[in-house]
Structure formats: structure tokens, C-alpha cells
Amino acid sequence: MRAVLSSGSNMGDARAHLQSVVDEFAGEIVAASSLYATAPWGKTDQPDFLNQSLLVEVENSPRELLACCQELEQRANRVREERWGPRTLDVDIVWIEGYTSDDPELTVPHPRAHLRQFVLAPWLEVDPEAVLDGVRISELLDGLGDQGVRKL
């Protein structure tokens, strides 16, 4: 099963937190994006985030993949106290080839991916031909204004 994962961190050693995701999926990575620095939004009085996308080919079911992502967050001591607040690690399943779900625990594709430059820019880097809901990622990105995302 091919999937796109989006990871982000702005607490502690953000690079190490993102590397933990790369390490977990090392044998399954088709492509890994560069790191991107992203200005926070929603709650702006916090450090910039580092973001990265991975295109992976996994044997896991969608639920098993979700459990793996949540385990990575737990290992990084992720605390969910505040919406859009700082976090040690956030690992989202953005897209799974041939799979959709509107289950609140696992909504695929990610319901806000099309609105987020920090998701779309790294995704485009790992899969230049990617399409989300029938629209090319490059077109979705063109339709967004600058959201403070910088490739490092």
C-alpha cells in the first residue's frame, strides 16, 4: 500500500523527531522530502515547525499504519493539550492510494491537506504527479497564498 505521511515538530530536537519517522519507515520509503520550516498558524506565539513528507510503500493496513504513526508520537512524548499548539511530533496520514475513509479516527485523504502549504509543498517534492481529489497537487499549491513555508 502506497501512502503519504506528513510529519511536523516544533519542540525539543525537531530534526531528531522527524528523523525518528524516517528511521521507522527506512525500508519502506519511496521518497523523502527536504525539511521545510513553517510559520505556526492558529496559535502563532510558538516556534516555527519543521515539516517533512514521506512517500512510503508499506504492507500495513491503514489502521496498522495509523497505530504506527501514533506510536511514534507517543515515543516522542506527544501531548495533545492545545489545538494548533506546540508539539514534539505529529505524524499524519495524508493520503493512501486507492483508499478513502471518513471515520473520525482515520480520515483519508486528510480533510485539510488541500489547504496547507506545509503539507502540499513537501508532498509535491516526493510525488510531482500527485493528485488529491482529482486535482494535481501543483494546482492546489498554486491556489494557496504564501503561508510562511520555506524549504531548508
Question: What are 22-40's pLDDT values in tens digits?
Answer: 999 999 999 999 999 999 8
Could you report the per-residue pLDDT of 109-144, keeping only the tens digit for each? 999 999 999 999 999 999 999 999 999 999 999 999
Which of 15, 87, 103, 112 is an active site residue?
Answer: 87
Q: Which three cell numbers stand for residue 55?
A: 512517500
Q: How high is the pLDDT of residue 130?
A: 97
The model's pLDDT over 82-115, given as tens digits with 9 standing for 90+, comes to: 666 788 999 999 999 999 999 999 999 999 999 9
Can 102 be counted among the known catalytic residues? no
Sorted by where each starts, the structural domains of the chain and their CATH numbers stand as 2-151 (3.30.70.560)
SS3 category, 23: helix
Q: Is 92 a catalytic residue?
A: yes
Catalytic residue among 92, 102, 112, 146: 92
Instruction: Check if 133 is active-site.
Output: no
Q: What is the pTM of this model?
A: 0.94
Q: Which residue in the list 2, 48, 78, 136 is annotated as catalytic?
A: 78
φ/ψ region of 114 (left if φ > 0, alpha if ψ in -120 to 50, else beta) reads: alpha
